Chains A and B, each alone.
Chain A
Amino acid sequence: METRIEVFYQKNDARAQIRLESIHSMGFSAVSSLKLADVYTFSSPGLEESDLQKCGELLSNPVLQNFIAGKPFVPSEFDYAIEIGFLPGVTDNVGNTAAETIHDFFGEKANGTRVFNSQVLFLKGNISEEDAETIANNLANSLIERIQIKSRAEFEKDGGMGVVVPLVKLDETPKAGEVSLDLSDEKLVELGKRGIENEDGTRRGPLALDLDSLNVIKNYFGELERSPTDIELESLAQTWSEHCKHTIFAAELDEIKDGLYKGRIKAATNQIRKEMGENDLCASVFSDNSGAVFFNDEFLVSDKVETHNSPSALDPFGGAITGIVGVNRDAMGFGMAAKPAVNRYGFCFADPKDKKLLYRAKNAQNPILSPERMMLGVIDGVNVGGNCSGIPTPQGFMYFDERYKGKPLVFVGTVGLIPRKVNGKNSVEKAAKPGDAVIMVGNRVGKDGVHGATFSSEALSEGSPATAVQIGDPITQKKMSDAIVKEARDLGLYNSITDNGAGGLSCSVAEMAKECDGCIVDLEKVPLKYPGMQPWEIWVSESQERMTLSVPQEKVKQFIDLMDSRGVEATVIGEFTDSGKCVVRFNGKTIVELDQDFLHDGLPKKILRTKEFARELKDASVEMPSDYNAELEAMLLRLNICSKEFVSSQYDYEVQASSVLKPLQGKGNVNADASVVRPVLDSGKGVSLSQALYPKYGDISIYDMAASAIDSAIKNLVAVGTKIEKIALLDNFCWCSSDEPERLGQLKQAVQACFDYAVTYKVPFVSGKDSMFNDFKGFDENSNPVKVSVPPTLLISSFGIMENIENAVSMDAKIAGDLIYVLGITKNELGASEYFASKGEIGKNVPKVDAKKAIALYNALLEAIEQGIVASAQPVGLGGFGVALAKKCIAGGLGAKVELGKVPSEGIDRNDFLLFSESQSRIIVTVAPENAEQFEKLLEGNDFARVGEITGGNLELIGLNGEKIVDSKIEALNEAYRKTLRGY
């Protein structure tokens, strides 16, 4: 039986109302009403027509909905019907749940029943068929969804939308073929760029192997006197990809023989750990899926920040949800498995109001998504991924720059919690043993996510593979996570664990096989979403929600039974060995036989050279403002400064009951720069989290851009009360055109700053990730070639351990009469500031960080916080002192009276420069008058000053010449702060 059940609301459907509003915002105000039907398409060998009534009851709510089974729902009024459903093979969570419910109820009779979910939108209004198509294209993503449109007449003639069962049908017989490497250099390059040639002449998509690598592979197989199989070549391509091996960070770069990673980032951490000695914070650095620090005697806290830029550019929702759910697995795959405890995020987009499209092909063909769709899709992806997984998401940011139009940056991170000892052994130590079973746990494997790793190592263009798009299924992962982290781990059922991320099984199994020196896998045992996949696809597919474990043979049954009782699929797919070889068989035939040494270390080391990135800088010319009230409001309206409350409040930051300092602070709900959680409910200790980036500063100085990000990431944690020696950092380099020596020159400078400042602050990097080709190559609407490269972007994420959460300090002004202090010195450093950007200028003087001075200042403040005399602390960031003070007032619902002349400054003679300079290492603090003396004594010897007091009235600023230049109602500032992104 193949049929449909359609569920629809009796009365109000909030989703329909919101959809209608979004159709209006597309410019189709002629659509006067919209009705939705949720469709369940059944394909069942055993169920009968008479069972449909029951199926409908199981899948609907009689209080809210009605359903029609076996015939179409026809609303009384509509002109067009648009059906949107998944393409064959795309993960359909709702359909899968419906099928499980049907099986639960009907038992054997329902065997073989498949259910597919789709939605019909019935539009009423005077629109053309073309309009309906535009609306549908705006609502659906053609990479993963199918669209069907019918006018009312067609709908009536056909008797509804018809029954479409989106099953994948693959005709090819799966087999591994040989690939000859006896090719000219030119052909080898093509092989690397476009992939292995199919029989019909099409290509399978990028291997992202360069000529040097291909020649090494050619020689290897030359010595073996055979050609590689396609799966061997794909496997090497995955393992050697920029995405997995970080070839640029590993390469010899100019005088840095050990490369940027080993010679700089890791070197800094090693040096700091040595200097810290007994006080070394680090528990595990750079060796596992996350980095970790000591939390208390019982627990470690891990952290990892990933990027998911390329997938998010193609499918923002899918890219973001698989990003966040994927990085959760970096916690689960850390040590013997950490519990995902906190999520963090960071998004870089172009202005959502920019409606001008770019195209992948000439003649305005194949448009990329608009910044607004990217933004909303990405936000929604992290919403569903984080909320459904029950992981709080308190920490994040959105940053805007037009250069993120071609490719957005999507940072996602997860803090994990793991006992220091698991079954009496150090939890960070794990090793697969020869003879252990290779077990794949979680989701099944499909064609989704084939070539994800190699694809993200290339720039986006017309040939970007659609199969690189994945759909997340957080519930499948949540079931797996609970079964492993809360049960199997503490029962001691496995020896090692890692996640299936980039490169899928080809990377996870081969990585674990390093621990024992070999593996043998039978690929036909891998559970598939649909039959007919080629062996190489199974091996490299990045289908989500999977972990690979090494399980001792005597525990295999117990492990699989446990997983089964938790609704989690677990399958033995091979065995770990000590043969020194990675062997893969398919139906008994060996199709991969690679030396472990060659697979992991055969990649030729690159030698890279840099060039200076030359640019001309000139002084900014900015007129003195005449109305500072307006100027301050204009700053609060800026995208990089305004409220992001609509994002913060759609992410559950309270789940796990760990929240201490929240993303929105004070009565006024202002986005704070740091948050604090208590991950262990019966401990008084906390984990503080922050992050910082200053991509625009890179337009002047990449070195200072990195320094500012590091200082801010530390400063933000200090302001809530985290000691410097309890802070660790993570780096995420999102670069562009990294094959150009000038871009590499910038990279070298940024990395040098990371080394210099980490070592000075004695704050170690514990983990990092890079994404080196964030470029879009395409065309504008007039077929002119366009290349949009992101500005070199370094995100520094920080996390720290707080001794006592009750000492945590929030940013909101607390009580009228409190004194306001500015800590740190304000200099003429407005280059690449938000203020200059608001005037269309860049300027020359970017903020420089004096770390030694900052350390002394921060330590003095920390002492005051420990003594309990700091009422609020707001770090100064984008928009400078004026914006930070305004935010503090909005958050507290209080006013302030401040004399700018008292703010410690150097080389500034203009009110606007004093207000909006973004000089680093500054914090605004409020203190109760009775604590003033004590506070000032503690801060003695540092640059700081009392500049005014908190009031119950307006924000009043007295300018340098003694005149009142700002007298703003807090409500007016609040209104400006919220206006720009209101409506989202």
Chain B
Amino acid sequence: MVKALVLTGYGVNCDDETAFAFRKSGAEASIVHVNDLIAKPSMLKDFGILVFPGGFSYGDDSGSGNALANKIRNKLWEPLMEFVDSKKLVIGICNGFQVISNLGLLPGFEGKYGERTVALAHNDSARYECRWVSLKGFSKKCVFTRGIDEIRLPVAHGEGKFTASDEVFAKLVENDQIVFRYAEGNDVAKGEFPFNPNGSMDDVAGICDLSGRILGLMPHPERNIFFTQQADWPLQKEILKRSKKPLPKESAGLKIFRNAVDFAKENGL
């Protein structure tokens, strides 16, 4: 069975629901405190997927994701590199995206990790924003988002403005590493609030590493795995009922977790 390690501790707070989403997708998910992993790093070998869930690690003090990234860099860097080098999967959601950006797991140009070249800065509104956004899928190489051309997910963050130098950004595009962009209707959001909720460069909501096996994204797919989690499900329900169609149980975000589990299964991770 595919095993996912969902990291927790120090203010991480989306561990339960993220583990739930992996279980629902057919994986065995364990929530592991970062100090337990530090005490026994060898346990990482048993897992095929490493998950950095959302939350407020260290309360965003000294920059979102920075303090937890420092801890991991200081105490877990080698086992982490071993994990990544064995072609396993890593996903960072929201605060997890901030952590793996600070760790330099992204963008991972030329297969090298550890350098910080992308960042999630304070939202343009300088305020925490909780809202549903539309996303357009771009990357063909990202294993998590295969077959997802568009999706609606909630965002909830104060520091989600994707920032990189022009050179880094050009490389991301060239390498097909842009996974999601915020969208409005059929087009990208073109920076317009609230469709682009934070002022991200070129509406970037998520990127992957060069291999497509490490994904970081600000929106929360684990919050849209049930029909009744969607912002507009009461309206959808009325429309479905009147065309005598049954209500679905699941929702679009689950596919991201299923893709990961399927890939891990196929590749014996």
Contact = CB atoms under 8 A, between A and B. Distances in A.
Interface stretch (A69-77, A92-100, A165-173, A597-605): A92-100
A566 B102 CA distance: 23
Interface centre among A94, A479, A655 (most CB of B within 10 A): A655
A808 interface: yes
Contact of B121 (A14, A18, A104, A387): A14
30 contacts: A14-B199, A17-B124, A18-B127, A59-B63, A63-B116, A97-B62, A97-B67, A104-B74, A105-B70, A390-B11, A390-B13, A475-B58, A566-B33, A650-B128, A650-B130, A652-B156, A654-B156, A654-B229, A655-B14, A657-B21, A657-B222, A657-B223, A657-B225, A661-B234, A667-B232, A681-B17, A681-B20, A814-B235, A815-B238, A815-B242
Contacts of A482: 8-9
Given A63-B116, A479-B9, A652-B130, 10 more contacts: A14-B121, A14-B199, A61-B119, A94-B59, A388-B11, A475-B61, A566-B35, A652-B156, A654-B130, A667-B235
B163 interface: yes
Contacts of B125: 14, 18
Interface in A633-691: 649-657, 659-662, 665-667, 678, 681-682
A387 B77 CA distance: 29
Given A655-B14, A655-B156, A657-B222, A58 B129 contact: no
A662 B231 contact: yes
B: contact size bracket? 35 or more
B239 interface: yes
Nearest to B253: A657
A809 interface: yes
B36 A565 contact: yes
4 shortest A-B CB distances, which residue pairs?
Answer: A390-B13, A97-B61, A63-B119, A657-B17
B32 to A, nearest CB: 12
B48 interface: no
Contacts of B75: 104
Given A806-B228, A806-B247, A808-B234, A478 B13 contact: yes
A649 B131 contact: yes
A972 interface: no
A111 interface: no
A551 B232 CA distance: 48
Contacts of B9: 479, 482, 566-567
Contacts of A682: 20
Nearest to A684: B228
A100 B67 contact: yes
Nearest to A59: B62
Contact of A567 (B35, B56, B163, B241): B35
B177 interface: no
B92 interface: no
B17 A806 contact: no
B225 A388 contact: no
Given A64-B163, A659-B229, A93 B61 contact: yes
Contacts of B235: 666-667, 810, 812, 814
A479 B13 contact: no
Contacts of B116: 61-63
B16 A814 contact: no
A474 interface: yes
A6 B75 CA distance: 26
Central interface residue in A60, A61, A661, A814, by most chain B CB within 10 Å: A61
A177 B248 CA distance: 70
A264 B261 CA distance: 58
Interface in A476-514: 478-479, 482
B34 to A, nearest CB: 9
Nearest to B59: A475
Interface in B194-253: 199, 220, 222-223, 225-229, 231-232, 234-235, 237-239, 241-242, 247
Given A63-B118, A390-B13, A815-B239, A649 B130 contact: yes
Nearest to B242: A928
B69 to A, nearest CB: 10
